[in-house]
Amino acid sequence: MTNRNVAVVGGGIIGLATAWALRQRGDAVTLFDAHAVGSGASSVAAGMLAPLCEAEELPADTHAMAVQSARRWPAFAAELEASSGCSVGLRTGGTLLVATDADEWTALQHHAATLAREGLRYEPLSVRTLRQREPGLHPRLAGAYAAPDDHQVDAQAVVKALWTVLSNRAVTVHDHTEVVRLDRTPTGVMLLGQDKVLGSFDGVVVATGAAARTLVPTLCPQPVIPVQGQIVVLQGETLLNHVVRTPRVYLVPRSEGRLVVGATMEERGHDLSARVRPVLHLLREATRVLPGAEELAILSLRCGLRPMFGDGQPKIGATDDPRIALALGHHRHGVLLAPETAHRLATQWYPEVGVIG
């Protein structure tokens, strides 16, 4: 197999993981990002690895990919930690799906029954058992299920670890360097910035997330839709040991007493301004489930743009030019899908072949 000179455009978790996988394959890799590496959606991601919880909302092909990627995560995390010397905060304690009223409980039971028929593990919990596991939860919740195979990781720690391992593996990184155009020539794909040529490469992976406005229209018939998401990070007494999800909010415990509350979903174009109404909604729903959250300090409010295609499925693999591949449209599942995306691009896409299975 011939090693290639490959560029990865986009320095979020998808681009970083892909760059690492291609470098492990033996390719020379150069990574470009228009801003600071990891400053886009990856800086806001809560890091839930939850293919079961998302099963009903994902297209069948994407859900199958999500399940496969979740299986890759333990080995991916272990190798990344060993290679970088950085913890990625992987927690494998499972997720608790909680209903706050009778209507939510009916919907949750239906959801669990549907998934059980597909062979996915859901465990019903009595309110008493739920309170034993998480005594800080509201005592009058309507019911709950445990999803033991859904876990979490600290997405920002993953970005840090990937940045470290890329530095160790001699990957060239150009941050604050926007790629505005790809020129296809007989000898390679030329990357052009605002006022200069950035280089010529045997292959290019476009992993620019929601910032794909200039490149994607020439490569893919579907536009990338930016979906704004806001999360609130609280800090104080440790109130939870598990990820807790309701239909309206999720609560993700992190180290040092941090608690991530998320997330909103609004199509507001490329607007990154935080809004009062959705933040109030998140905090109101969080305290309905976890009353003690009222006493926590607000550490930060974060806002990012998730990249989504209209059909809900990411585009991973070669375009009409086999030298150019996409790794786009992961929506709110970029962290979960990163290992599988990187694996597919490193093992099934080659500039000279352009085939991905």
**pLDDT tens across 13-43, in order?**
999 999 999 999 999 999 999 999 999 999 9
Three-class SS state of 120 = coil
Please state the domain extents for the chain. 5-87+155-223+310-348, 95-151+225-308
- The residues pairing with 147 across neighbouring beta strands, listed in sequence order, are 95
Core vs surface per residue 6-41: b (16+ CB within 10 A) or e? bbbbbbbbbbbbbbbbbbebebbbbbbbbeebbbbb
Three-class SS state of 100 = coil
Nearest in space to 245 (alpha carbons), one of 42, 50, 41: 50
The pLDDT value given to residue 52: 81
Mean per-residue pLDDT of the chain = 91
Q: Within a 10 A sphere around the Cβ of 304, how many other Cβ atoms? A: 22
* Superfamily of 5-87+155-223+310-348 according to CATH: FAD/NAD(P)-binding domain (3.50.50.60)
How do residues 64-112 score in pLDDT, each as one tens digit? 999 999 999 999 999 999 999 999 999 998 999 999 999 999 998 988 8
- What's the CA gap between 196 and 227, in Å, rounded? 31
Q: Within a 10 A sphere around the Cβ of 278, how many other Cβ atoms? A: 18
pLDDT band at 219; cut points 50, 70, 90? confident
Per the listing, tokens 């990625």 go with 88
Name, in order, each residue with C-beta under 8 angstroms of 38's C-beta and a sequence gap of 6 or more: 11, 12, 13, 16, 156, 159, 160, 163
| Residues 138 and 127 sit within 8 Å (Cβ to Cβ) | no
How do residues 253-283 score in pLDDT, each as one tens digit? 999 999 999 989 999 989 988 899 999 999 9
Higher pLDDT, 205 or 351: 205
Domain topology for 95-151+225-308? D-Amino Acid Oxidase; Chain A, domain 2 (3.30.9)
Three-class SS state of 287 = helix
H helix or E strand, kind and range, residue 78:
helix 60-84
pLDDT band at 58; cut points 50, 70, 90? confident
Core vs surface per residue 152-164: b (16+ CB within 10 A) or e? bbbbbbbbbbbbe
Higher pLDDT, 260 or 122: 260
Nearest in space to 75 (alpha carbons), one of 95, 56, 92, 60: 92
Residue 308 tokens read as 């989504």
How do residues 133-142 score in pLDDT, each as one tens digit? 999 999 999 9
- What's the CA gap between 72 and 138, in Å, rounded? 34
